[in-house]
Chain A
Amino acid sequence: MTHPNDRVYSEAHEWVVVEGDIATVGISHFAQDQLGEVVYVDLPSAGDALVAGETFGEIESVKSVSELYAPVSGEIVEVNDALGDSPETVNASPHGDGWMVKIRLGDATQVDGLMSAEDYDEFVAQG
Chain B
Amino acid sequence: MSGVQRSDRGLKRTSLYEEHLALGARMVPFAGFEMPVQYAGIIEEHRAVRSRAGIFDVSHMAEFRVFGFGAFEFLQRALTNDLRKISEIGQAQYTLLLDEQGAILDDLIVYHSGDLEYFIIANASNREQDFDFLKRQAPDDVELVDESDRTALIALQGPEALRIVSELVGPDWIAPDRFCIGEGLLDGAVPCLIARTGYTGEDGVEIVCRSSDAPVVWRLLLSFSEVTPCGLGARDTLRLEMGYHLYGSDMDRGVDPISAGLGWVVAKDKGDFVGHGAVQRIRDEGPERRLVFLSVVGGIPRHGFPVLHGGVEVGKVASGTFSPTLETGIATAYVPAGLSSLGTTFEVAIRAKKASATAVKPPFVTSTSLSGVQTP
Contacts and interface: CB of A to CB of B under 8 A. Distances in A.
Interface stretch (B3-11, B37-45, B121-129): B37-45
A36 to B, nearest CB: 6
Contacts of A40: 299-300, 322
Nearest to B329: A40
Contacts of A62: 42-43, 233, 237, 321-322, 324
A39 B322 contact: yes
A58 interface: yes
A81 interface: no
B84 interface: no
B42 A60 contact: no
B372 to A, nearest CB: 30
Contact of A58 (B38, B43, B351): B351
Interface string A56-89: 0010111101000000000000000000000000
A37 interface: yes
Interface size class of B (residues with CB under 8 A): 10 to 19
B302 interface: yes
A31 to B, nearest CB: 15
B44 A37 contact: yes
Contacts, number: 35
Interface in B108-158: none
Contact of B42 (A36, A42, A58, A65): A36
- A interface majority secondary structure: strand
B200 to A, nearest CB: 15
Nearest to B321: A62
Contacts of A65: 300, 302
B300 A60 contact: yes
Contacts of B38: 36, 63
Given A60-B322, A62-B233, A63-B233, A39 B41 contact: no
Interface string A24-61: 00000000000011011010000000000000001011
A37 B43 contact: yes
Nearest to B298: A40
A40 to B, nearest CB: 6
Interface in B30-56: 37-38, 41-44
Given A60-B322, A62-B321, A63-B37, A39 B44 contact: no
Given A62-B233, A62-B237, A63-B233, A37 B302 contact: no
Interface of A: 36-37, 39-40, 42, 58, 60-63, 65
Interface of B: 37-38, 41-44, 233, 237, 299-300, 302, 321-322, 324, 327, 351, 353
11 contacts: A36-B38, A36-B233, A39-B300, A39-B322, A39-B327, A40-B299, A60-B300, A60-B322, A62-B237, A63-B321, A65-B300
What 8 A-B pairs have minimum CB-CB distances, sorted nearest first?
A62-B42, A37-B43, A39-B322, A37-B41, A62-B322, A63-B233, A60-B300, A36-B41
